[in-house]
A and B are shown apart, each in its own frame.
Chain A
Amino acid sequence: MKINAGNLKKGDFVFYQNDIWQVQKAEFYAPGKGAALMKTKIWNVKKGKNIDVTFKSNEEVDTVEVESRLMVFLYKDNENLYFMDEKTFNQYSLPVKSVSGLDKYLKEGEKLYVYIFNDVPLSLRPPLSVRLKVVKSEQAVKGDTISSAKKSVTLETGAVIMAPLFIKEGDIVIINPETGEYMGREGK
């Protein structure tokens, strides 16, 4: 579908220079000389990289109807992540490099939204948070009671993150998978 660039908003998918991109930021910009513009940051869903593109606000851009479909994460190998659509039992794969490091926080069997265009998976919609078990955690040093102090812990997926000192092995922690930041601990 063609729309004016002035109507682009965060989350839209656009077809630009023979690739599909997701809009990450779109800001109207009227420089007071010449046309009003739309300054965007767009993310290449296949290559996982950002670029800044300025459109004329009344320039037509091709948006792409991308579907986000709930799938089960099956497993990953060195190159790909494998998913299954639970309704059709069809399997899909996504290159590891297209998920911008999200795979470090993904557990087999987890349900996730995969962006699909023409039945071809493009990328993964990053979940707002993931819950993972701590499998290794060093003992906090005695006397070290500063509340802001952190230590590194290893999660069940193998990822290592910084967590508060009170986190123990066996705890379930809540992580922002886009940044790897600790957000909280699941209540028992």
Chain B
Amino acid sequence: MKIITKNKNLENHINYIFILSLIEDFLKKRGYQKIDLPVLSPVLIPESYLEVFETEFKYFDIKEKLYLTPSPELFLKRLLVQGVGNCYYLGKSFRNSDPPSSLHAFEFTMLEFYKLGVSYMDIADEVLEMLREINKKLNDQMLKLKNNNQKLKHFKIKEKNLKINFDRWEKISVVQAFEKYAGIYEMELFNHQLFFEKAKKKGYKVDKFSYEDIWSQIYAQEIEPNLGKKGYPTLIYDYPKEFAALAKLNSDGKTAQRFEFYINGIELGDCYTELIDWREQEDRFIKEDKERKRIGKINHPVDKEFIEALKWGLPPCSGIAIGIERLAMVFLGLESIDQLKVIDIVL
């Protein structure tokens, strides 16, 4: 790996920094408390589909394993239990084994915010407001520069992005999306046996693969390319319980209160009505930790105190994580997140 200095990206980078300030202004105005957090932790939430970075603290004979956090969730939820109230983290998160690509970096900037006493759909309203405000302020800034007859040197938004209208979401449930774009009906989606048969019929390899594997392959191949393409951002909601992660289940017992949002086929954010039932969270942790061991992922200690915190009582709340480089890339009409970087580490 090596360090690359990319001076040609300075304009994009300045615009990206401006977007960061717009996000912070918005959250501050709405009463969210900014929290700064460590990125190294001795324990993590077990998530079987993420690989982590492992490092070590050393002091004479003391040696202690530490892990770069793939998300600030384990810290923020502790604070929510302590009564911090609506809050956010805007900073780095780390995911290993993701080779750099147009949408991936192993080190990236994440916004995660939590709001008390609301469900995931209320967060959707908040996010839409935020997108609208970023869009408006970006355009205002551009107009101001134009009117002052200044060169648009440090500001450019490509035309195509102005066409996205942030007045409303295009809302579609996962069930509707699978039927509409992949011809997979509700019954087939939730019944693993029928799902395997259908996937096989469609030409997917199913032998030796799990429901989750095939589901996400079909989702990426047939669903995602259609999302956020109709002039509005798309909100796709209610994922099968296999993808519940830390989200509360719906009363149907089959789906979780999780949504993701997309612009132009690109996933930008992931929101849950947070699971507050510690027993269920503990069960999911055990399952995920087992799965991590089975597939040979780094065997980090599980954050057991997170469960203790939940026992103390996480207030009902919802939270969202948004990939900020992707968001800026979409608003600035770029093809790849690395176009935002002035210093990049590449393979």
Contacts and interface: CB of A to CB of B under 8 A. Distances in A.
Interface of A: 17, 27-37, 39, 52-56, 59-60
A28 B95 CA distance: 13
Nearest to B225: A52
A54 B102 CA distance: 16
B98 A30 contact: yes
Contacts of B210: 35
B49 interface: yes
Given A37-B216, A54-B220, A59-B209, A28 B101 contact: yes
Contacts of B205: 56, 59-60
A29 B103 contact: yes
Contact of A34 (B98, B102, B104, B243): B243
Interface in B183-216: 203, 205, 209-210, 212-216
B270 interface: yes
Contact of A33 (B101, B221, B225, B239): B239
22 contacts: A28-B98, A29-B104, A30-B50, A30-B97, A31-B267, A32-B50, A33-B216, A33-B219, A33-B245, A34-B49, A34-B215, A34-B216, A34-B219, A37-B216, A37-B217, A52-B221, A52-B225, A54-B217, A56-B205, A56-B213, A56-B217, A60-B205
Nearest to A39: B220
Interface residues of B, number: 29
Nearest to B243: A33
A36 to B, nearest CB: 7
Interface in B242-297: 243, 245, 267, 270
Most chain A beta carbons < 10 A, residue from B50, B209, B217: B217
B270 A34 contact: no
Given A27-B102, A30-B49, A31-B219, 8 more contacts: A28-B101, A28-B104, A30-B97, A32-B50, A33-B219, A34-B216, A35-B217, A54-B221
Nearest to B323: A32
Nearest to A61: B205
Contacts of A55: 217
B116 to A, nearest CB: 25
Contacts of B245: 33
Contacts of B99: 28
Contacts of A33: 49, 212, 216, 219, 239, 243, 245
B271 to A, nearest CB: 13
B223 to A, nearest CB: 11
A137 B203 CA distance: 53
Contacts of B101: 27-29
B221 to A, nearest CB: 4
Nearest to A59: B205
Contacts of A56: 205, 209, 213-214, 217
A28 to B, nearest CB: 5
4 A-B pairs closest in CB distance: A34-B216, A35-B213, A54-B221, A34-B212
Given A28-B99, A28-B101, A28-B104, A35 B270 contact: no
B203 A17 contact: yes
Contacts of A37: 216-217, 220
A28 B168 CA distance: 32
A27 B50 CA distance: 17
Interface string B73-116: 00000000000000000000001011101111000000000000
A71 to B, nearest CB: 35
A29 B265 CA distance: 13
A28 B102 CA distance: 10
B104 A30 contact: yes
Nearest to A32: B49
Contact of B213 (A17, A34, A39, A60): A34
Contacts of A54: 217, 220-221
A27 B101 CA distance: 6
A35 to B, nearest CB: 4
A35 B267 contact: no
A159 to B, nearest CB: 29
Contact of B216 (A28, A35, A52): A35
Contacts of A32: 49-50, 270
A37 B221 CA distance: 10
Contacts of A29: 101, 103-104, 220
Which one of B97, B99, B220 has the greatest number of beta carbons of chain A within 10 Å? Answer: B220
A28 B105 CA distance: 11
Contact of A35 (B203, B212, B221): B212
